[in-house]
Every structure is written in C-alpha cells, then in structure tokens.
Chain A
Amino acid sequence: MNAHVRAADPKQRIKGATGDWEIVIGLEIHAQVTSQAKLFSGSSTAFGAEPNSHVSLVDAAMPGMLPVINEECVKQAVRTGLGLNARINNRSVFDRKNYFYPDLPQGYQISQYKSPIVGEGEIVVDVTPTESITVGIERLHLEQDAGKSLHDQHPTMSFVDLNRSGVALMEIVSRPDLRSADEAKAYVTKLRTILRYLGTCDGDMEKGNLRADVNVSVRKPGAPFGTRCEIKNVNSIRFIGQAVDVEARRQIGILEDGGTIDQETRLYDPGKGETRSMRSKEEAHDYRYFPDPDLLPLEFDDAFVATLKAALPELPDAKKARLVSQYGLSAYDAAVLVAEREQADFFEAVAKGRDGKAAANWVINELFGRLNKENKDVGASPMSADQLGGIVDLIGEGVISGSIAKQLFEIIWTEAEGGKALDPRAVVEARGMKQVTDTGAIEKVIDEVIAANPDKVEQAKAKPTMAGWFVGQVMKASGGKANPAAVNEILARKLGLG
C-alpha cells in the first residue's frame, strides 16, 4: 500500500507539539456526465426544472421498470479515462449498492464496484505554473446520482425531488498522493480543466455538477498511513483546501493528546470552519453490493475506444507545451492561458500572424484583467480577438505607444460594451492618437520643457537619473504621443548626458 506513495516536501509539513506531521489526502470526485438524457432512462438531465418533471417511471423506480444504458454516457466515461491516461476496461459490470434514503427510490444505487469501466491512470498537476506533481488515478466508474431532499420547506416533513435521480455520474478516485491543501486544490482544478476540455463534465461546482469527498489522514514523516476520515460532498475548491487544513489540525490535536482517530464520515461547515461527524450511516455502511441482474456486463471493442481516442481535443498539457514552443511564451503565461480552452482559443486568434509574447501580454494583462474586474469570462468579452489584435498591430508597427494603446483599449472596450465594434486603426486616425516620431516636433517640446526648468537641468547634469523626470514632462506635454525612444535620445543629447 505504501509503495506508490509520495513523500511530502518538508516545507509542507505541519508543526505539532511532538514534531512534524505530514498530511495524506486522497480525493473522490463526483462529476456529472454531460449528456442530454439520464444514465438508464430517456428523461432530461437539464438543471433547474420544476420538481419531479424530469422523471420517468424508471427514475422513480416503479415496479417492473428496467434500466437501458445511455451509450453517450459510456462514451463520455471512456473519453474521460483516455484524458486521464488511464486503462480502459473493455468489459465492466454494474452492481447494486444498497442503502435506504428517501431520495433513492430504488433502495439501491446502480454503480460499478469490482469491475469499473476505467482503471489506473495518472495526471500531471500544476501546483504552481512551474512546479508539477504526478497524481495517480485509481479508477473511474459510472453510477447514478440520487434525488434531492429539501428539509426547510415544512416543520415536520422533508420534500423530495427526483429530477437528479438517475443522472449519470463519474466517480473519479485518486490515489492518496496529495500532501497539502494546495496540492488538493491544484488537483481538483486540473481535473476540472481536463473534464471541461474533454466536454465530459461542465465542472459547474455551484450547481453541484462537480463535488468532492476528501479523505484526510496524518502521519509522522515516513510512518505508515494513519486512520483516515472522509469529508463528504465539499462543493468548492476553496472549501476543499480549508477542509483539509481544518481536519488535519483536528486529527493532529487528538493524536498529540494521546487519542486515536475513528474512521468516520464527516461534514465540513465553512461558516464555523470545522468538520463534524455525520454519525447516522455507521451501521448502514453495509452496502451489500451484488451484480445488477437487470444489466448485462458493459462490453465494447478496441475499435470503439480507438474511434473516441482519435476524436479527442488537444488537452491542457499538450496545449501548454505547444504554446510555449510555438509562440515562445513563458510557462507561466501558457499556464494561465490553457486554464480554460476558450481563453487559449482567444489568445491564438489574437496571436495569429502576430508576435506571440505581445499578444499574450495584452490578452492576459489587459483583457483578462478587465474581464476579471467585471466578473466576466472570455466568452462574454465585448472586445473581439480581431480588435485586440488590431491594437497589438498598431503597437508593433510603432503607430502608437504603449500608454496610448491603453487609452485605445479603453475606448474600444467602452464602445464595444455599448454595442459598437470599432476598428482600432480607424479610431487612431480619427482621434489623432498616432505617435509623434517627427524629431523636429519632439525637439520643440523638449526645448520648451528645458527652457521652463533651468534648475532641473542643472540637477540632471549632476544626477543623470533626473532625466526620467524630463521624459515624463515631455510625454505629458505631447499627450503621450511622443515616441519614447526618440524622446530619450534627444533629451540625452540636449542635457549633455550622451
């Protein structure tokens, strides 16, 4: 069990009263499969419908109803397995996982236990843009989601809505390869990115379409694994990080006081910043799995897998490497761009036929900065890639300076928000924003500034860094349009600093 286990970087260890502790984390991610219909019925998976409207007699487990598997859900699971560099099992088996709960009308969940559709794999997780770790995937299996219970509608009754009942989920189980809250967060972030690239899960955590069960234990460095606790259903990446830290500290506290950890299921309460025991299900943890007699084994051939593999999109790691080699981007910029496929696509549209670094700079710093401020994603950008590319062109050609380009960006953005798509070059012409490269005109401005500030001229001769003050004055006097290189050169000559 300890063979395939990463040691924590010493700086990730937690200081306790009895020495350093290491956190060991494994994650089970439940990812809702992107499909029109449910895993075993023809009712809709669409979110936000009226109660019990997206429910068929199969989903409500009416007597005599039989499940028929949705082929697209199978394909989505295989695509995901391929994206996780995992072994695809051409034969897998559906089992019944038995438990009682009002939002589970069958009295069992159809899941995969001994023979999952996807076996071992691994993904590269970027802990920082330049630092990565490899995290093992133990398995991926297909299963049904349960319905939803509402407890706050009535003083003595719970309300049950089965719209989610029977929707396909992929449970993706990692190896216990994660050693800190940051690594856990980075893992979920990367997994979510891969799923979104593949189009197999939209990763919408607010809607519960991606949720995590977080297994946490602690140990002294090099010691065998400690007893773990499972924190159920954490639904944001930030909370996953908080839950890991809070739970690790709780366990260390108990162990250092001479206590022992009970293996149990817990809940994370973000409001109180604590985890709490879920008690109840302890005894019911006997799921009595057995093969579902309503379903034959799920079988497909290598050609089925090969066809899906051939149609996979470029995945984040490959895209990142290509952006670095093709456009000369830094690993950092490439990592920012590939975090969402739409971002990378937008960048490539801007970079086409232009300087890649300049394009990345404008896309990341100006455009993404602005989108972030307004809480929009790149798909909702009012400014098009063509327009931003136009601005990059004007800088490259020396038509406008960097500071004027920022003003131009502002104008194009504001007009675009108002529904007017302006051509950057036309705006520069119409508003006289062109850079002044006429040295005669620049000299004239410099002469004026020098004449008005004889004292500063003396200072500059003693202290050449004062020249910067003159550059600022000249740029200001020219409305930012003077070519900075020309200003520097002429100033140096006039001040005798050459």
Chain B
Amino acid sequence: MSVDAATVRRVAHLARIALPEGDVAKMQAEINAMLGFVEQLNEVNVDGVEPMTSVMPMAMKKRADVVNDGEIAAQIVKNAPQSEDDYFMVPKVVE
C-alpha cells in the first residue's frame, strides 16, 4: 500500500493540519516508508486469530450512574483563547 500526493493533502485537511505545498512530496515519502515497514506484517498468517483488544485478559470497567463530576465551568473554559459567560467562543460556524 502507498499513498499519492492527493491523498496526503486530503489526510492533512481531514486532520486540520496545515501542510505547505512544498512539504507534500517529503511527507508522501515518509508516509510511504512507514506503510512499507508495516507491510511486513502481511507476511504473518492471521487466519482465525481474534484481534487482540487488551494485553491482559480483562473485562471493561464500568461506572455507576452517579453524578460526581462537572460544575467546574470556569476551569473548563480557562484555556480557551476567547470565552464569554462560560461559553467557548469560536469563529462563526453556520451550516
């Protein structure tokens, strides 16, 4: 598997990463090198092997339905570049 320049630009856009046009070729080469490395795994036959979801066999922890968090609006918006009345403010986005 390998990616072309258009795919590199698209992935960057989907991840909202600014990628100068001059860097596309370099990034494409790096990604393809990585994909090539990972490609080696295809040599292993994994027919009938369940995907591993956890190193230790364990069940997912669950929480009780209890409200024990929140009510910290000032802290939540503290790092926001702009806020008002505990709302985050962002450049206008209207569908």
Instruction: Find chain A residues with CB under 8 A from B77 CB.
Output: 52
Q: Are A69 and B90 in contact (CB under 8 A)?
A: no
Q: For the complex, give the distance between the alpha carbons of A57 and B75 in Å.
A: 9
**A43 interface residue (CB < 8 Å to B):** yes
**A238 interface residue (CB < 8 Å to B):** no
Q: For the complex, give the distance between the alpha carbons of A74 and B61 in Å.
A: 12
**B interface majority secondary structure:** loop
Query: Out of A52, A55, A71, A154, which one reaches B62, CB within 8 Å?
Result: A71
Using C-beta atoms within 8 Å of the partner chain, give the interface range for chain B: 35 or more
Binds B, one of A3-11, A283-291, A474-482: A283-291
Given contacts A68-B63, A100-B16, contact A54 B70 (CB under 8 A): yes
Q: Are A297 and B60 in contact (CB under 8 A)?
A: yes
Q: Are B87 and A55 in contact (CB under 8 A)?
A: no
Interface code B62-95, partner A: CB below 8 Å = 1, 0 otherwise? 1111111111110111000010111111111111
Q: Are A286 and B87 in contact (CB under 8 A)?
A: no
Q: Are A68 and B61 in contact (CB under 8 A)?
A: yes
**A364 interface residue (CB < 8 Å to B):** no
Q: Are A101 and B87 in contact (CB under 8 A)?
A: no
Instruction: Find chain A residues with CB under 8 A from B14 CB.
Output: 98, 100, 284, 286, 288
Task: For residue B65, give the distance in angstroms from its CB to the closest CB of chain A.
Answer: 3
Given contacts A157-B82, A157-B91, A296-B58, contact A55 B64 (CB under 8 A): no
Q: For the complex, give the distance between the alpha carbons of A298 and B71 in Å.
A: 29
**B54 interface residue (CB < 8 Å to A):** yes
Q: For the complex, give the distance between the alpha carbons of A72 and B65 in Å.
A: 6
Task: For residue B67, give the distance in angstroms from its CB to the closest CB of chain A.
Answer: 4
Query: Out of A57, A74, A154, A280, which one reaches B89, CB within 8 Å?
Result: A154
Given contacts A55-B76, A296-B53, A296-B58, contact A41 B92 (CB under 8 A): no
Q: Are B90 and A157 in contact (CB under 8 A)?
A: yes
Instruction: Find chain A residues with CB under 8 A from B82 CB.
Output: 157
Q: For the complex, give the distance between the alpha carbons of A296 and B52 in Å.
A: 10
Q: Output the nearest chain A residue to B59 by Cβ-Cβ distance.
A: A299
Q: Are A36 and B92 in contact (CB under 8 A)?
A: no
Interface code B41-60, partner A: CB below 8 Å = 1, 0 otherwise? 00000000001011000111
Given contacts A73-B65, A296-B60, A299-B60, contact A158 B90 (CB under 8 A): yes
Task: For residue B15, give the distance in angstroms from its CB to the closest CB of chain A.
Answer: 9
Instruction: Find chain A residues with CB under 8 A from B70 CB.
Output: 41-44, 53-56, 59
Q: Are A102 and B59 in contact (CB under 8 A)?
A: no
Q: Output the nearest chain B residue to A154 by Cβ-Cβ distance.
A: B89
Interface code A66-83, partner B: CB below 8 Å = 1, 0 otherwise? 001111111000000000
Instruction: Find chain B residues with CB under 8 A from A349 CB.
Output: none
Given contacts A54-B70, A297-B60, contact A35 B90 (CB under 8 A): no
Q: Which residues, 30 to 63 on A, are CB-close (under 8 Å) to B?
A: 35-37, 41-44, 50-60
Instruction: Find chain A residues with CB under 8 A from B85 CB.
Output: 51
Which B residues lie at the A interface, using CB under 8 A? 10, 13-14, 16, 51, 53-54, 58-73, 75-77, 82, 84-95
Across chains A and B, which 4 residue pairs bring their CB atoms closest together, nearest first? A43-B70, A72-B65, A42-B69, A296-B60
A/B interface sample: 23 pairs, CB < 8 A: A36-B65, A37-B69, A41-B69, A53-B70, A53-B73, A55-B76, A56-B72, A57-B76, A68-B62, A70-B64, A71-B63, A100-B16, A150-B87, A151-B92, A153-B87, A154-B84, A158-B89, A158-B90, A160-B87, A267-B95, A288-B14, A291-B51, A296-B53
